[in-house]
Structure 1
Amino acid sequence: MSDWMLYHAFGIRGYEIVRQEKFDRRCLSFSLRATPQVLRCPRCGSKDVIRKGTNPRLFRGLSVGSQPVWFDAAIPRVRCDRCELTRQVRIPFADEKRRHTRAFERYALELARITTTQHAADHLQVSWDTVRDIEARHLQKTYGKPKLKHLTQIAIDEIYLGKSVKFLTVVLDLESGAMVFVGRGKGAESLDPFWKRLRHSRAVIEAVAADMSPAYALAVRTHLPHATLVNDRFHVIKLYNELLTELRRELYARMIRTSNPAA
């Protein structure tokens, strides 16, 4: 297989094929060797390094038809005198601590969008956990830290997710309805990471909707002194109904005492 095919078909760059094997009718394997262009310090990127052996790694690549493809790569270790560091070089075709290539990961995500996680795993001949981990990391990378500079109106509230997780504090963008932050707990301290990110984004918050919690109100007044604090409609109506219920009970008890003085 040519280097052109290796790159354009499997997304492998910086390595060349040394040997190709076929374990059986259901699996293909290629042995890879690093080219000089990948011999760089993983910290500073310097080419002035000394080779210090290799680490054997096995990566799952894109399938050929129904046959899984594996790449047996010898990942070089280098010594950098500038950093005084001996480490494995960066792998240009796979993420750190992963056993599959980025091209395989992209294909798994495409399958997961049009079918179930289990069906995608069955088609790729991998475990359900592998596809689920790929999906989870993609979601974390894409939506884990959304941009905040466009925020103008936000809502703060807590939700209860059972005994194991308990309470989470969530922040919503009132214009789009998107969730922009999730913090553990329901106190004001759960919002500390959000305030830090909000300051760095330089967003101009005009209004904040929250429940009647004194902790949230104090946090908003401290970090957003110029924003308008609004008690959200749900909690206002809830409090109104609770007070109305107490009033009805009190009036009913008074009516019973008036109609039956002996009681």
Structure 2
Amino acid sequence: MSNRFRLGGDLDVNRLGFGAMRLPSKDGMGGPARDPEAGRAVLRRAVELGVDHIDTADFYVSHDGAVRANSLIREALYPYPSNLVIATKVGPIIRPDGLHQGTPADMRGLVEANLTGLGVDRFDLVYLRIGAMTPPRGESLAERFEALAALREEGLIRHLGLSNVDTGHLAEARAIAPVAAVQNHAAQSGDADVLAACQESGIAFVPFFPVGGGRELDDERLAKVAARHGATVPQIGLARLLATSPVALAIPGTGSLPHLEDNMAAAAITLTDDDLADLS
């Protein structure tokens, strides 16, 4: 199985990319701020290790708002390598009273905030994110996706994606404009159907929290295969994800250089048929 994927049919990327959510904060989105220089160092090293696909969002910020993922990416990597694909998500709006869902009228401002934060004129990929941690069943995304499709027609966006959706949402969106990628929770129920739909149509499937979202993985099957390869359990978790389907991409995130090195080493692990049987 190839380690590369043509995102949207024309953007060739390493199937092991990098998620920026943990860069600004020690405990994930909205946690205490990390040292910004540590985040910049992680980003520079990620590119050195072959990362050419970074996933971010304007709402990836520390609790005090002082450290922002998009700012760190711009400060560390601008001017960007010509082969670097940057994807972002829009939809959620974080206010003092909590998380809100943006309206169709909000989409332009949300995209423009990401463009400004990253210092770019056009996005390679913009996901419409809906709901919280599970797909909101029966909720239409048509008007919001139509607003993003209009921005694509203007040239502000190259490809469109969806996040936190089910197969009904995917079909609804594809009736409006092409969908290049779907980003759902790695452990979300019902995702086998979403993955199957993506694989059938050549759409990238990009799970978030691919190695537990900062929580320790405790799985005897993963540990057994990890011991066989002299690898760590998270590395086998990533290798398993990449072996799931040729359209599966991984975007593990971290604010730690050693953790980054460990994650990227997973690309060199080739799981055998016996390994995959043990992990099934």
- What band does the TM-score fall into relative to the shorter chain? under 0.3
Q: Which has the higher strand share?
A: 1
TM-score normalised to the size of structure 2?
Answer: 0.23
TM-score, length of structure 1 as denominator length: 0.24
Instruction: Tell me which structure has the larger Cα radius of gyration.
Output: 1
Q: Which has the higher contact order (CA 8 A, sep 6+)?
A: 2
